[in-house]
Amino acid sequence: MADATSKPVSAPAAEATILPIILAVSFCHMINDIMQSMISAIYPMLKTDYALDFWQIGILTLAFQCTASLLQPVIGIITDKKPFPYSLPVGMGSTFIGLVMLANAHSYVVLVISASLIGIGSAVFHPESSRVARLASGGRYGMAQSVFQVGGNFGQSIGPLLAAFIIVPNGQGSVAWVSVGALLGIVILTGVARWYKAHMLANQGRKRVLKAHNLSKRTVTIALIVLTILTFSKNAYMASISSYYTFFVIERFQVTVQQSQIMLFIFLGAVALGTVIGGLVGDKFGSKVVIWFSILGVLPFTLAMPFANLPVTIALSAIIGFIMASSFPAIVVMAQELVPGRVGMIAGIFFGIAFGIGGIAAAVLGVFADRYGITFVYNVCAFLPVLGLLTVFLPGKKALRVA
């Protein structure tokens, strides 16, 4: 099958946007990320039940995110050469097994194994579903990538609510109820896999040409390095929110666990909205404009949040989530345009970097939190968006689109 970066010489139908498929993978992205955010949302409960230190909480995040990080680029490279449509439901099956184990775990080791299995499911899901979204985009890559990712953002925002109102009141065993969502994901992804396979067969042997640019290899290399650094900046800060925001507001403002989950939901809901807006703006004005605004533009708000009162903290977290979230679809789309014909590899690398950086940052920040306190962590992370100045080295929309 031709890569999603390629374009038929003829056959205008191939340029049609197939919204049901994009929405299907977006919905399954929501299911996948509900599981992910639910794990971090029940950290306070697990910390109490298992008498865990912050570094052990960080290791749990590391187990999930680094499993996904290490496998995603490998899966992307393999599927660029030979796509495996039915790997999508198989990956969701790994997530299902991990959830069932998590619900019945009685030791910290089993918790880590469960998180790793859920990470494997994400590793399989992200590169191939990102490819499917691009295949179905009809050339509207920013829109397709943002709709695909907003499903994950909504899942991240729903997870804490499930944790607050179902798992925390009913205990660890109630995680099994959430596993029903993974079963639904398996069914939907089986249908997507059928469409994916039919698309492969319909386009088999059709001559394609890549949408190329005229940028030098040095320019492309520098741009990819900058995009990697910007991904580090974004995801290290996001890890400080997703893993430790509940602890921060509990310690600083003495709110309850359920109240902290609602505050996390507000942040993650703003992330979902920012993702959609970022994709639409990126299609119209180019990825570079979105990245400038998203990374560097958030700096005043991150600097202010550690010193704000409770209502202002809630407002600032929503603003930060909205602005910062718009960058990742733009980063992925730009990277795919920089390296035509390697959709799976680029998606795997950048989703993998995102997961890996988030996991490593969570573990490192956990050590700092144990030693210096949660507030210190937020004071340090507030300066990460300064790295957004590197956006000046990225090519503009015209340079990327010249064939």
Instruction: Report yes or no on 8 lying in a domain.
Output: no
Residue 3 lies in a domain: no
- Write down the pLDDT at residue 14: 43
User: Does residue 322 register a pLDDT over 60?
Assistant: yes
For the chain, the three-class secondary structure string (H helix, E strand, C coil) is CCCCCEEECCCHHHHCCCHHHHHHHHHHHHHHHHHHHHHHHCHHHHHHHCCCCHHHHHHHHHHHHHHHHHHHHHHHHHHHHCCCCCHHHHHHHHHHHHHHHHHCCCCHHHHHHHHHHHHHHHHHHHHHHHHHHHHCCCCCHHHHHHHHHHHHHHHHHHHHHHHHHHHHHHCHHHHHHHHHHHHHHHHHHHHHHHHHHHHHHHCCCCCEEECCCCCCHHHHHHHHHHHHHHHHHHHHHHHHHHHHHHHHHHHHHCCCHHHHHHHHHHHHHHHHHHHHHHHHHHHHHCHHHHHHHHHHCCHHHHHHHHHCCHHHHHHHHHHHHHHHHCHHHHHHHHHHHHCCCCHHHHHHHHHHHHHHHHHHHHHHHHHHHHHHCHHHHHHHHCCHHHHHHHHHHCCCHHHHHCC
Q: What local confidence, expressed as pLDDT, does residue 10 receive?
A: 38
Q: Report how far residue 121's alpha carbon sits from residue 193's, in angstroms, rounded to the nearest whole number.
A: 16
pLDDT above 50 (res 12): no
Q: How many domains does the chain have?
A: 1
Q: Hey, what are 301's tokens?
A: 């708000």
Give the pLDDT confidence of 72-93 residue by residue, as tens digits. 788 888 888 888 889 999 999 9
Measured CA to CA, the distance from residue 323 to residue 321 in angstroms comes to 6
| Digit-coded pLDDT (tens) for 345-356 | 777 777 776 666
Question: In this predicted model, what pLDDT tens digit does every residue of 270-286 receive, in sequence order?
Answer: 887 888 787 777 777 77
Domain of residue 232, residue span: 17-401
Residue 6 forms part of a structural domain: no
Q: What is the pLDDT of residues 106-145, one digit of tens each?
A: 889 999 999 899 889 988 898 888 889 888 888 777 788 8
Residue 2 included in any domain? no
Please report how the helices 108-135 and 343-372 are oriented relative to each other, as an axis angle in degrees rounded to 10: 140
Q: Is residue 345 part of a domain?
A: yes
* pLDDT for position 200: 83
Alpha-carbon distance 66 to 95, whole Å? 15
Is 336 inside any structural domain? yes
Answer yes or no: is 157 within a domain.
yes
In a domain, 10, yes or no: no
DSSP-derived pairing of the beta strands 6-8 and 208-210: antiparallel
Q: Is the Cβ–Cβ distance between 156 and 39 less than 8 Å? A: no
User: Which pLDDT tens digit goes with each residue over 216-230?
Assistant: 888 899 999 999 888
**Among the listed ranges 48-57, 226-235, 340-349, which one has the minimum average pLDDT value?**
340-349
Q: What is the mean pLDDT of residues 193-212?
A: 74
CATH of the domain at 377: 1.20.1250.20
Amino acid at site 309: N
